[in-house]
């Protein structure tokens, strides 16, 4: 199963491009296209009303819109239930109030997104391609970085935890159990719930990390032929290289006949920024301005999946 | 005579423990096992764990035993053996042990919080803060006093220097065995003790000779490095070996003293004001608490008792054994020291004079005036005198099968080991005190605050001042200042204990605490005044820089003393009825 | 008579053994508790304003952190009163 992430500045035509590619690929393969962008256009592009669930467009093309707010709420509710269950007998904070504060915590959105991607990847495995339309650059980079950041933190915490267990083991070897009351603190790695949980989490995130960095994953960067778009793209490319995420395709969208010089200029700059990455050009759709109600804005059916290209 | 004194001492302690001690327990502290101790109530499996009272006693006693109960009596013998013994016995029973016991029990009643916290609650916030200041300066003086003692020992008996170095290596190895390899504990202990004996023996055959100043430099670097490495590398295994040294030294000393059957060669009562501190006539009152500290009364003990021991007390009735009883044990230790020196010290001095072909003028009539000077000149003062007397005492009994050289090094190691551990542990604590003292500066003088609380700066400052004083200061003056500061803490702690008993408990027999508390306070204050006005000018004249350093420290503490008593009286803590 | 004497001696030796073991482990115990405190602070610092790992890590591990939370709170309470405890643990004099 291959994964494609369509990234780019807001308004460059990510959703359109991702929809177009999905549409084309669905002629050969089974495709699921998921929109993560809070400003959803997926339903509009395909002319259907989408809710949180998977929608069958054709036999080989399924659509899904992720409701970020609902995701966050669900996630928080789940975790709060864990808290309520565990701490039911302890006198604690008023959980309702705490719950509403938590939704402003940094990281909840990214984590919720990441969780939903992970879930999607795990559960929807009878598709050949999953195409993701991502939110604007900042949020995208943040949630793409999340697996790696998390692994780093978990590593540190595991190290401290191991130190603690090591010391407990030493104390046990020296002192043994003092008297009946003392519960034996776990000192073996296999006994410690926290360490086991940390390792499991690390495993999950490492798996996710390796999927995102792997051969079957590709990032598609969509941009427009103007300098602002170029600058934004540079930021994205730098971010992607830092995270070792595989950029596989560049799409120069909304090319107009009169401005090909600019398009060429931008393209050559992009080639310097991202050497050896293929560039595809897509023309500006006159149908847009004409007011014609054209689905998929008449995109030429030449958009190739980067995995098909070699 | 030696035997007689040992027996009397032992009986005295035992009888008074069972009578006076029990009365304290019943009527002053009003111990009751109905209320469970914090170790049960606040049980957390780490700090708050109930410990069997015998185990806790061992732990507590090992924490408070050190080099001071040995050094003090060695100096105090200049008054004659009777005054010294009197203070070790009566001072201990009625003031020192009461101080320890009350600190422990007050802490227990305050959920295991420290005496500092109790003082803050009962007297005032300034008193709590004063602890950091006084302890900080006290720690510097401790470093100075002990570094000089060890330096003197290493120079006079080089075998001790080498034995100690080997012991450090043994401790490092033991640390690895116990904490890294996690070897079976009993096995590791046996290996450790074997290495210790080997170290002592090896020391006797390969002495390290070096000058006093060289040793001062070595100690300085040792302190800074040792207080920066993790505790399980050196500190823990070394402390562990030390406790075995303590038992060996105590056992051999006790047996030797009982079987020595020797008369005392030292006069019973030499003079009320012999020449001692700072080369000046030192009146027995108020100076005796400054000279004999730990064997009889020591402020440090209140911190130890209320720091960890109170959190591990199984039930309130164990407190008497732990707080009161362990102080008696230490008093008994000092008794053995007095006995050893009184019985064998004079001969040791005479022999040393003969060896150096020097005329020996010391006798019973000029004892007070000349003892201190002569013993210093013969290199047989303070620790050295003890080591020699101890070795002679053992040699005079059936224990003489142990080679004399070995016994000498064993005794020297005993003193040196405890003194050395104090050197780097005080540095760790001094760092902490310094950062607490600087806390008010955090906002107002941030640059200075950052510099002072930097790990290395905070480590070097107390070490540097301490070692400097050890190298150049008048040692007897430093020892006296150390004693004064220690007893200032004791005074505050005892006052706090008395306040607790009188104000909170409203005990009928509270005078058992209140009277000693006021007595102690007056003694300490008088001692400070005498010290600053009479001793210091001489010290400053002799060596201005160390002299002024010590004077400044003393004056600061003296001021804190008055601030404290003002807060105390204002808080009306001492009034029984409200 | 002999058996009670024997029992007493055995108890005495057991006590000495226990004392030594306690003492040898004492500092490691303090170290361990401090590490647990640090672990808890790192993980849950975000609840008190410290920069910390992604919050969800804390929430994921929270059900298992009862002991660490207790230590965190206890240490927060007693961190102003550490002088005596340190004196006792390190063994001044």
A124-169, pLDDT tens digit by residue? 888 888 999 888 777 788 888 888 888 888 898 899 899 888 888 8
pLDDT over 60 at B506, yes or no: yes
Average pLDDT over residues B536-551: 82
Residue A258 lies in a domain: yes
Q: Tell me the pLDDT tens digit for each residue of B425-441.
A: 888 888 888 888 887 87
Q: Tell me the pLDDT tens digit for each residue of C72-87.
A: 777 777 777 778 878 8
**B182 near C CB under 8 A:** no
Of B116, B127, B122, B237, the closest CA to residue B174 belongs to B237
**Do residues B474 and B148 touch, judged by C-beta distance below 8 A?**
no
pLDDT at B475: 82
Average pLDDT over residues A69-90: 65
Identify all chain B residues contacting A169, using CB atoms and an 8 Å cutoff. 182
**C75 near B CB under 8 A:** no
* DSSP H helical ranges for A26-91: 42-46, 68-86
Whether residues C81 and B52 touch (CB distance < 8 A) is answered with no
Q: Residue A217 forms beta bridges with which residues?
A: A3
Which of the four pLDDT bands, split at 50, 70 and 90, describes residue A181? very low
Enumerate residues 6+ apart whose C-beta is below 8 A from A14.
A6, A7, A8, A37, A133, A134, A222
Which of the four pLDDT bands, split at 50, 70 and 90, describes residue B217? very high
Cα–Cα distance for residue pair B285/B290, rounded to 1 Å: 10
**Higher pLDDT, residue A56 or C52:** A56
A neighbour chains, 3+ CB pairs within 8 Å:
B, C
**B62 near C CB under 8 A:** yes
Pick the most confident of A280-289, B34-43, B448-457. B34-43
Whether residues B306 and C22 touch (CB distance < 8 A) is answered with no
Report the CATH number at residue A67: 3.40.50.300
pLDDT at A291: 64
Cα–Cα distance for residue pair B235/B178, rounded to 1 Å: 13
pLDDT at B194: 92
Which of A84-88, A171-175, B351-355 shows the lowest per-residue confidence on average (mean pLDDT)?
A84-88
Q: How many domains does chain A have?
A: 1
Residue B578 lies in a domain: no
Q: Tell me the pLDDT tens digit for each residue of B133-158.
A: 898 999 899 889 899 888 888 888 88
Which of the four pLDDT bands, split at 50, 70 and 90, describes residue A91? very low
Nearest residue in chain C measured CA to CA from A115? C56
Cα–Cα distance for residue pair B291/B476, rounded to 1 Å: 9
Cα–Cα distance for residue pair B425/C90, rounded to 1 Å: 7
* DSSP H helical ranges for B378-445: 382-395, 404-437, 441-444
Whether residues C91 and B63 touch (CB distance < 8 A) is answered with yes
pLDDT over 50 at A96, yes or no: no
**Higher pLDDT, residue B464 or A88:** B464
pLDDT at B169: 92
Whether residues A86 and C63 touch (CB distance < 8 A) is answered with yes
Whether residues C83 and B303 touch (CB distance < 8 A) is answered with yes
Identify all chain C residues contacting B59, using CB atoms and an 8 Å cutoff. 19, 22-23, 26
Average pLDDT over residues A237-262: 86
Which of the four pLDDT bands, split at 50, 70 and 90, describes residue A184? low
Mode of pairing for the β-strands spanning A217-223 and A279-283 = unpaired
Q: How many domains does chain B have?
A: 1
- Nearest Cα of chain B lies from the Cα of C87 at a distance, in angstroms, of 6
Average pLDDT over residues B96-116: 90
Enumerate residues 6+ apart whose C-beta is below 8 A from B58.
C15, C16, C19, C20, C22, C23
pLDDT at B577: 44
**Do residues A222 and A193 touch, judged by C-beta distance below 8 A?**
no
- Nearest Cα of chain C lies from the Cα of A192 at a distance, in angstroms, of 9
The whole-model pTM stands at 0.76
Residue A291 lies in a domain: yes
Cα–Cα distance for residue pair A188/A183, rounded to 1 Å: 14
Pick the most confident of A173-177, B336-340, B362-366. B336-340
What domain range includes position A275?
A: 2-138+212-309
- Nearest Cα of chain A lies from the Cα of B443 at a distance, in angstroms, of 30
pLDDT at A178: 41
Q: Alpha-carbon Rg of chain B, whole angstroms?
A: 23
Whether residues A153 and C36 touch (CB distance < 8 A) is answered with no
Identify all chain A residues contacting B185, using CB atoms and an 8 Å cutoff. 173-174
> Rounded mean pLDDT of chain A?
79
- Nearest Cα of chain C lies from the Cα of B178 at a distance, in angstroms, of 9
Identify all chain A residues contacting C72, using CB atoms and an 8 Å cutoff. none
Q: Most C CBs within 10 Å: which of A101, A144, A171, as the mutation test of the C interface?
A: A171
ipTM: 0.78
Whether residues C91 and B436 touch (CB distance < 8 A) is answered with no
pLDDT at A84: 56
Scanning B151-180 for CB atoms below 8 A from C yields 178-179
pLDDT at B220: 92
Which of the four pLDDT bands, split at 50, 70 and 90, describes residue A89? very low
pLDDT at A92: 43
Whether residues C56 and A79 touch (CB distance < 8 A) is answered with yes
Q: Most C CBs within 10 Å: which of A164, A165, A177, A187, as the mutation test of the C interface?
A: A164
**Do residues A71 and A112 touch, judged by C-beta distance below 8 A?**
yes
Q: Tell me the pLDDT tens digit for each residue of B225-272.
A: 887 787 778 888 888 888 888 888 888 888 888 887 777 877 778 777
**C93 near B CB under 8 A:** yes
Cα–Cα distance for residue pair A209/A82, rounded to 1 Å: 26
Cα–Cα distance for residue pair B89/B295, rounded to 1 Å: 9
Identify all chain C residues contacting B178, using CB atoms and an 8 Å cutoff. 24
Of the candidates B43, B185, B232, the beta carbon closest to that of A181 is on B43
Cα–Cα distance for residue pair B305/B131, rounded to 1 Å: 15
Average pLDDT over residues B414-418: 88
Which of A188-202, B18-32, B379-393, C46-60 shows the lowest per-residue confidence on average (mean pLDDT)?
C46-60
pLDDT over 60 at B19, yes or no: yes
Q: Tell me the pLDDT tens digit for each residue of A99-123.
A: 555 556 667 777 778 888 888 888 8
Q: Tell me the pLDDT tens digit for each residue of B164-187.
A: 999 999 999 998 888 888 888 888
Q: Tell me the pLDDT tens digit for each residue of B340-378.
A: 888 888 888 888 878 877 777 777 777 777 777 777 777
Number of CB atoms found within 10 A of residue C49's CB: 7
């Amino acid at each position: 199963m291959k994964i494609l992430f369509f990234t780019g500045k807001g308004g460059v035509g990510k959703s359109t491009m991702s929809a177009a590619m999905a549409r084309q690929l669905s002629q050969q393969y089974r495709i699921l296209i998921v929109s993560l962008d809070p400003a959803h256009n997926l339903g509009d592009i395909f002319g259907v009303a989408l809710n949180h669930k998977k929608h069958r467009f054709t036999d080989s093309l399924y659509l899904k819109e992720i409701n970020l707010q609902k995701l966050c709420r669900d996630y928080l509710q789940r975790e709060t239930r864990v808290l309520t269950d565990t701490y039911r007998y302890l006198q604690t904070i008023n959980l309702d109030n705490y719950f509403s504060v938590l939704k402003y915590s940094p990281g909840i959105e990214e984590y919720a997104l990441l969780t939903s991607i992970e879930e999607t990847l795990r559960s929807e495995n009878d598709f050949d391609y999953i195409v993701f339309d991502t939110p604007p650059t900042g949020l995208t980079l943040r949630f793409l970085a999340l697996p790696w950041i998390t692994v780093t933190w978990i590593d540190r915490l595991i190290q401290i935890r191991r130190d603690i267990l090591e010391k407990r083991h030493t104390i046990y070897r020296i002192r043994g159990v003092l008297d009946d009351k003392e519960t034996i603190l776990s000192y073996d790695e296999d006994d410690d719930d926290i360490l086991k949980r940390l390792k499991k989490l690390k495993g999950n995130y490492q798996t996710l990390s390796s999927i995102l960095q792997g051969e079957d994953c590709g990032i598609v960067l969509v941009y427009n032929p103007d300098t602002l778009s170029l600058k934004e793209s540079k930021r994205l490319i730098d971010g992607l290289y830092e995270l070792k995420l595989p950029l596989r395709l560049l799409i120069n969208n909304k090319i107009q006949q009169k401005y090909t010089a600019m398009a060429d200029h931008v393209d050559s700059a992009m080639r310097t920024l991202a050497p050896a990455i293929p560039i595809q050009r897509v023309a500006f759709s006159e149908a847009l301005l004409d007011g014609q109600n054209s689905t998929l804005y008449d995109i030429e059916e030449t958009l190739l999946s980067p995995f098909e290209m070699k | 005579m030696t035997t007689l004194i040992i027996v009397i001492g032992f009986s005295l302690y035992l009888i008074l423990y069972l009578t006076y001690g029990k009365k304290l327990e019943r009527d002053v502290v009003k111990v009751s096992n109905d209320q469970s101790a914090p170790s049960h109530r606040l049980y957390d499996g780490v700090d708050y764990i109930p410990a069997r009272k015998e185990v806790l006693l061992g732990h507590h006693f090992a924490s408070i035993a050190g080099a001071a109960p040995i050094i003090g009596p060695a100096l105090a013998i200049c008054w004659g053996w009777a005054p010294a013994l009197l203070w070790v016995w009566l001072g201990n029973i009625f003031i020192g042990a009461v101080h320890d016991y009350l600190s422990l029990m007050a802490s227990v009643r305050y959920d295991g919080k420290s005496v500092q916290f109790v003082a803050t609650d009962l007297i005032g916030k300034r008193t709590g803060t004063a602890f950091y200041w006084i302890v900080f300066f006290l720690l510097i003086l401790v470093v100075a006093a002990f570094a000089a003692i060890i330096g003197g020992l290493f120079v006079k008996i080089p075998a001790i220097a080498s034995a100690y170095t080997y012991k450090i290596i043994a401790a490092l190895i033991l640390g690895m065995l116990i904490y890294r390899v996690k070897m079976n504990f009993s096995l590791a202990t046996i290996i450790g003790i074997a290495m210790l004996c080997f170290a002592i023996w090896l020391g006797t055959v390969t002495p390290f000779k070096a000058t006093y100043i060289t040793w001062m430099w070595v100690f300085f670097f040792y302190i800074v490095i040792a207080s920066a490495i993790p505790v399980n590398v050196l500190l823990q295994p070394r402390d562990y070996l030390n406790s075995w040294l303590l038992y060996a030294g105590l056992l051999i000393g006790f047996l030797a003293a009982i079987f020595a059957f020797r008369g005392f060669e030292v006069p019973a009562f030499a003079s009320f004001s012999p020449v001692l501190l700072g080369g000046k006539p030192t009146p027995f009152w108020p100076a005796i608490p400054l000279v004999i500290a730990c064997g009889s009364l020591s402020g440090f003990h209140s911190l130890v008792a209320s720091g960890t021991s109170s959190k591990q007390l199984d039930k309130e009735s164990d407190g008497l054994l732990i707080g009161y009883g362990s102080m008696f044990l230490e008093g008994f230790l000092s008794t053995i020291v007095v006995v050893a020196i009184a019985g064998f010290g004079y001969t040791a001095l005479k022999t040393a004079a003969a060896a150096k072909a020097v005329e020996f003028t010391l006798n019973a009539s000029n004892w007070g005036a000349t003892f201190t000077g002569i013993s210093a000149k013969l290199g047989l003062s303070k620790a050295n005198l003890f080591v020699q007397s101890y070795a002679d005492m053992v040699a005079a009994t059936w224990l003489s099968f142990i080679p004399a050289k070995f016994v000498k090094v064993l005794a020297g190691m005993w003193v040196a080991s405890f003194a050395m551990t104090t050197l780097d542990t005080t540095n760790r604590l001094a760092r902490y005190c310094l950062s607490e003292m600087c806390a008010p500066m955090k906002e107002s003088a941030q640059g200075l605050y950052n510099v002072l609380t930097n790990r290395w700066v905070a480590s070097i400052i107390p070490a540097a001042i301490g070692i400097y004083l050890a190298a150049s200061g008048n040692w007897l003056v430093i020892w006296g200042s150390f004693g004064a500061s220690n007893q200032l803490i004791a005074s505050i702690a005892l006052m706090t204990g008395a306040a607790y008993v009188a104000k909170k408990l409203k005990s009928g027999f509270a005078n058992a605490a209140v009277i000693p508390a006021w007595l102690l306070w007056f003694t300490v204050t008088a001692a400070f005044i005498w010290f600053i006005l009479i001793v210091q000018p001489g010290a400053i004249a002799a060596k201005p820089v160390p002299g002024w350093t010590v004077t400044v420290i003393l004056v600061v503490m003296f001021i804190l003393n008055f601030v404290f008593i003002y807060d105390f009286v204002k808080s009306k803590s001492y009034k029984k009825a409200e | 008579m002999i058996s009670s004497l024997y029992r007493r001696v055995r108890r005495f030796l057991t006590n000495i053994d226990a004392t030594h073991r306690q003492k040898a482990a004492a500092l490691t115990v303090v170290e361990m508790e401090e590490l647990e405190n640090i672990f808890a602070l790192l993980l849950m610092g975000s609840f008190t304003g410290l920069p910390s790992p992604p919050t969800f890590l804390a929430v994921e591990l929270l059900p298992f952190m009862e002991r660490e939370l207790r230590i965190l709170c206890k240490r927060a309470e007693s961190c102003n009163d550490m002088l005596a405890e340190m004196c006792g643990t390190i063994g001044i004099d």
